C-alpha cells in the first residue's frame, strides 16, 4: 500500500471517494471539499497518524468503518447534513474525546459507531431517534451523555462497560 502517504490535496472536482481509498496510509489530516457527496466504507480505516478531519456539507452519512482504528484521531466536526453515523464509524478511535454532532438532520447512530473510542462526553441532538447495538460500548472515558426525548430505540449493550458514566 501507500503507507508513506502523509498528505493529499483533494481536488474540488471530486464527487466520490471509493471504499478503503486511503486505508492504512500515514495521512495526518483530511479536509474533504463540499463537492464530495459519496464516500465508501473504510475510507480512512487504520490511518494511525490521522489526527484531524473536516467534513463539509452535502454528506448525509458517515459510512461504516470510515475512521475505524484511527488511534490518533482527536477531533471531528460533522456537518448539519449528516443523517446517519454508520456501523463501526469511529470504532477504536481511543484519542477521540470530542465529536461535534450536528444539530440538524442526525437521526441514527449505527451499531458500534463509537465502540472503544475515547469519547468523554456526548451531547446528542434532539433529532436522534435510534442508537444502535453496542454504539458506545467500552467507552471507558465517557462520563456524561444526554439522551433527548426524541429517542425511540436504544440497541442492546449500547452503553456496556462505560465505567465512568455518571449521567
pLDDT at 55: 86
Residues 6+ positions from 9 with CB-CB distance below 8 Å: none
Q: What is the 3-state secondary structure (H, E, C) of 11-74?
A: CCCCCEECCCCCCCCCCCEEECCCCCCEECCCCCCCCCCCCEEECCCCCCEECCCCCCCCCCCC
State pTM to two decimals: 0.93
Residues 122-132: tens digit of each pLDDT: 889 999 999 99
Contact of 100 with 121, CB cutoff 8 Å: no
Q: What is the tens place of the pLDDT at every residue in 147-158?
A: 999 999 999 999
- 141 three-state secondary structure: coil
Q: What is the pLDDT of residue 31?
A: 86
Distance (Å, whole) CA 115 – CA 139? 6
- pLDDT tens per residue, range 73-104: 998 888 889 999 999 999 999 999 888 887 88
* Residue 19 confidence (pLDDT): 97
Amino acid at each position: 500500500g501507500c503507507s508513506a502517504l502523509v498528505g493529499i490535496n483533494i481536488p474540488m472536482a471530486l464527487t466520490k471517494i471509493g471504499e478503503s481509498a486511503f486505508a492504512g496510509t500515514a495521512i495526518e489530516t483530511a479536509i474533504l471539499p463540499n463537492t464530495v457527496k459519496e464516500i465508501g466504507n473504510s475510507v480512512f480505516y487504520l490511518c494511525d497518524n490521522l489526527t484531524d478531519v473536516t467534513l463539509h456539507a452535502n454528506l448525509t452519512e458517515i459510512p461504516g468503518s470510515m475512521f475505524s482504528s484511527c488511534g490518533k484521531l482527536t477531533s471531528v466536526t460533522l456537518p448539519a447534513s449528516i443523517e446517519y453515523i454508520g456501523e463501526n464509524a469511529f470504532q477504536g478511535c481511543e484519542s477521540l474525546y470530542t465529536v461535534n454532532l450536528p444539530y440538524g438532520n442526525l437521526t441514527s447512530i449505527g451499531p458500534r459507531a463509537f465502540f472503544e473510542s475515547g469519547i468523554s462526553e456526548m451531547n446528542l441532538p434532539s433529532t436522534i431517534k435510534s442508537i444502535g447495538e453496542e454504539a458506545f460500548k467500552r467507552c471507558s472515558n465517557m462520563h456524561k451523555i444526554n439522551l433527548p426525548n426524541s429517542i425511540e430505540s436504544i440497541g442492546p449493550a449500547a452503553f456496556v462497560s462505560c465505567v465512568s458514566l455518571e449521567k
